[in-house]
Amino acid sequence: MQKKLWNFLVLAIVIPGILLTASCSKKVIKDDIAASGLYDTSEQDTQPPPSVYPDDTDTRYSEPVVSTDDIKTSHITREQMAAREKFMNEDIYFGFDQSSLSAEAQMILRRKAEWMKNNPGTSIIIEGHCDERGTTEYNLALGDRRAESVKTFLANLGISVSRIATISYGEEKPLDPGHNEDAWARNRRAHFIIE
């Protein structure tokens, strides 16, 4: 009886192990490209490799690879990308329990308004953020006031409000996880997302 039990246990372990090992192995697919006729090997070894240095008779190299227009376009694109990155990464900071804009914040927003005028097809989201002090409800309301303050200032500079959306995250998305005045100052901000 005990021998039958041991045989049963061994088989109960070995058979599933074999099945799992066989089912998890990679299947090897051999594809003989030359035999399929998709690739002609007759000319492969008879042609010399292309020259590394072009000669005067080679017409492939008569045109410049990159035109000066391409260089100018890529330069403009790099400048535009840098301006776009600056727009998104330059936040507006607020004082403790404040939604009013400082002189520095107004200067930054004037630059942002100019960028938006130069890029009329773009829309933005202004995120209002707070530090961790205060209740969740209060900080959500304060973040909303901060985002709306920025939106109103941009609208007064001639940016259509239809291009500006606002959202408040309150204290939920801190930029700095610290618990000191420096961290709190960095977290009291309006952040910009380009849609």
Question: CB under 8 Å to 144, separation ≥6 — which residues?
Answer: 128, 166, 168
pLDDT tens digits for range 137-151: 999 999 999 999 999
Nearest in space to 151 (alpha carbons), one of 141, 139, 166, 140: 166
Q: Which of 68 and 8 is assigned the larger pLDDT?
A: 8
DSSP H or E segment with residue 183: helix 181-187
pLDDT level of residue 14 (50, 70, 90 thresholds)? confident
Q: Which of 149 and 8 is assigned the larger pLDDT?
A: 149
Nearest in space to 168 (alpha carbons), one of 186, 149, 155, 183: 149
pLDDT at 162 exceeding the cut of 80: yes
Nearest in space to 128 (alpha carbons), one of 156, 158, 165, 163: 165
Q: Where are the domains of the chain?
A: 70-194
pLDDT level of residue 13 (50, 70, 90 thresholds)? confident
Mean pLDDT of the chain: 81
Judge contact between 158 and 114, C-beta under 8 A. no
The tokens 């952040």 sit on which residue? 191
pLDDT level of residue 34 (50, 70, 90 thresholds)? very low
pLDDT at 131 exceeding the cut of 70: yes
Is 175 exposed, middle or buried (CB count within 10 Å of its CB: 0-12, 13-18, 19+)? Answer: middle
Nearest in space to 7 (alpha carbons), one of 15, 19, 17, 20: 15
Out of 1.10.760.10, 3.30.1330.60, 2.60.120.260, 3.30.1330.100, the CATH code matching 70-194 is 3.30.1330.60
Percent of the chain with pLDDT over 90: 54
Backbone angles phi, psi at 146, to 5 degrees: -65, -45
Nearest in space to 138 (alpha carbons), one of 166, 165, 172, 164: 172
Give residue 189's Cα distance to chain centre: 21
Percent of the chain with pLDDT over 70: 69
